[in-house]
Amino acid sequence: MLNALTERLGKILGGFRSRARLNAAEVEAGLREIRLALLEADVNLKVARGFTERLRERLTGEDVGRALTPAQQIVKAVHEELVAVLGGEEVERLAATSYAGRFAPIMLVGLQGSGKTTTAAKLALRFKKEGQRPLLVALDLQRPAAVEQLGILASEVKVDAFTGKAPEPVALSRAALEQAKKEGRSPVVMDTAGRLQIDDALMDELARIKAATEPVEVFLVADAMTGQEAVNIAQTFHKRVGLTGVILSKFDGDARGGAALSILETTGVPIRYVGTGEKSDALEPFHPDRWARRMLGMGDVLSIIEKVEETVQAEDAEAIQRRLAKDTFTLTDFLAVVEQTQKMGPLGQMMKLLPGMRLNEDQLALGEKELERVKAIVRSMTKEERSNPSVLNASRRKRIALGSGTTVQDLNRFMKQFKEMQKMMKHLKKGKLPLAGLLGRLSP
């Protein structure tokens, strides 16, 4: 999601790099292109107009920084306006919200098919990783197997699900909260019923559950793939039930992404989480600044660091660091790094978090295939060969290529790349790698 908008904005902003000064005509031309890019990304018309109007005021006013180049001025202004549209500092504060130390019922609402039940399990897993004791509650007593589905998902993420019985959702929600209080469980994530379309019966039921449970949060789970329809759904639910936030599911899908840039300004309800994949841990708190940087191709290094901290085992990282200190980074270490990296998520998602990485889907697919090919090559080696590649003579190379389903040429190319990597690791250890110059070339 947002790939097309990122690519389009990159081209527009890149067109200003060679200009020494900005004049009114160039500013207007750039604003027109930005407005069209937003509209093509399915951003609400009113939001797109307001966005470009504020940019016009900044780029033609007296507060334009004289020390910045035209490209820097526009990138800075566009980035700051994107952050503001996505919620700014207030949503950044909400992204760090902790429910530790208080009893926290959380109510999930939404239409059928929006990914609500899956999101409930993902949210509970996040709370569990934060050291809390969540409880999942299925309040959809109408959809066949809804309770069983949440139970299965709960077992997959190793979170308890409420198993009590009640004739209707309000009584069931009260019973669940009573048990959670007795057992010291919180947050209590309540997955409510959905419909194929909004109706009075659904809204009445949700209002009664809310009144009975007094939730600290009411999150709408909306399918990001539906674009502006997600905005319309958020407006209706907020008016009838009262929302504290929106969770956009399927945010990794092939859609234009305008809902993300429209929801807050049109509804007054902030985005709180986004679903970034099918795996149980693919749910991220929504950080406006980070997503604005992603939209501009500026990368999201903070999210990479968080993913590393969540997935890489401390002892593995320390072992590799010790070997680096002794200049003994081997093929076994390389394989461990690749496998740990893949645990953080698909290569495509990780590459998009790096500054300046605007790879198309074909290039990303080739990258995934290359990683699997390299892993097969290293796994076909003996322990001695991984530790000391100098023993790789012609017969050994032929055996490894045959065992890994590759060619000797593939093996030779990889070994050349690995030697370059070892040199890079030495530079990193000695602090001699010109990282500043590298980052400068990657910046938009």
**Residues of the chain with pLDDT > 90: what percent?**
42
pLDDT of residue 321: 59
**Range of the structural domain that residue 216 is part of:** 92-296
Per-residue pLDDT band for 324 (boundaries 50, 70, 90) equals low
Residue that wins the pLDDT comparison between 260 and 191: 191
Residue 218 structure tokens: 């009411």
Rg (CA), the chain: 25
pLDDT of residue 76: 84
pLDDT at position 338 over 50:
yes
The residue from 89, 110, 126 where one domain ends is: 89
Residue that wins the pLDDT comparison between 439 and 221: 221
Residue 283 has φ and ψ, to the nearest 5°, of -140, 125
pLDDT of residue 257: 67
Give dist(CA 173, CA 188) in Å, integer. 10
Q: What is the CATH number of the domain that holds 201?
A: 3.40.50.300
Give dist(CA 279, CA 185) in Å, integer. 24
Average of per-residue pLDDT values in the chain: 81
- Is the same domain home to 266 and 185? yes
Q: What is the CATH number of the domain that holds 48?
A: 1.20.120.140
Give dist(CA 137, CA 102) in Å, integer. 18
- Is the same domain home to 50 and 102? no
Give dist(CA 231, CA 44) in Å, integer. 9
**Residues of the chain with pLDDT > 70: what percent?**
77
Instruction: Identify the top-confidence range among 18-27, 137-146, 326-335, 360-369.
Output: 137-146
Q: Write down the residue that tokens 């590459």 correspond to.
A: 351
pLDDT of residue 240: 92
Total domains, the chain: 3
* pLDDT 10s digits, 120-171: 999 999 999 999 999 999 999 888 788 999 999 999 999 999 988 888 999 9
- Is the same domain home to 34 and 168? no
- Is the same domain home to 79 and 181? no
Query: What pTM was estimated for this model as a whole?
Result: 0.69
pLDDT of residue 411: 93
pLDDT of residue 345: 61
* pLDDT 10s digits, 396-442: 999 999 999 999 999 998 898 888 777 766 655 544 433 333 333 33
Burial of 192 (0-12, 13-18, 19+ CB in 10 A): buried
Residue 381's contacts (CB-CB under 8 Å, 6 or more residues apart) are 331, 400
- Is the same domain home to 318 and 412? yes
pLDDT at position 200 over 70:
yes
Peptide bond into 105 cis (omega under 30): no
Give the least confident one: 70-74, 346-350, 383-387: 346-350
Amino acid, single-letter form, for residue 382: T
- Is the same domain home to 192 and 97? yes
Give the least confident one: 94-103, 229-238, 288-297, 322-331: 322-331
Contact between 19 and 271 under an 8 Å Cβ cutoff? The reply is no
The residue from 257, 278, 296 where one domain ends is: 296
pLDDT of residue 353: 53
- Is the same domain home to 292 and 310? no
| Mean per-residue pLDDT, 338-349 | 64
* pLDDT 10s digits, 362-408: 544 546 778 888 889 999 999 999 989 999 999 999 999 999 999 99
Provide the 10 A C-beta neighbour count for residue 207: 13
- Is the same domain home to 270 and 417? no
- Is the same domain home to 389 and 269? no
pLDDT at position 20 over 50:
yes
Q: What is the CATH number of the domain that holds 345?
A: 1.10.260.30
Q: Which residues pair with 221 in a beta bridge?
A: 247
- Is the same domain home to 234 and 343? no
Per-residue pLDDT band for 360 (boundaries 50, 70, 90) equals low
- Is the same domain home to 146 and 254? yes
| Mean per-residue pLDDT, 262-284 | 90
Per-residue pLDDT band for 182 (boundaries 50, 70, 90) equals very high
| 413: Cα separation from own chain's centroid | 33
The residue from 296, 324, 359 where one domain ends is: 296
- Is the same domain home to 272 and 128? yes
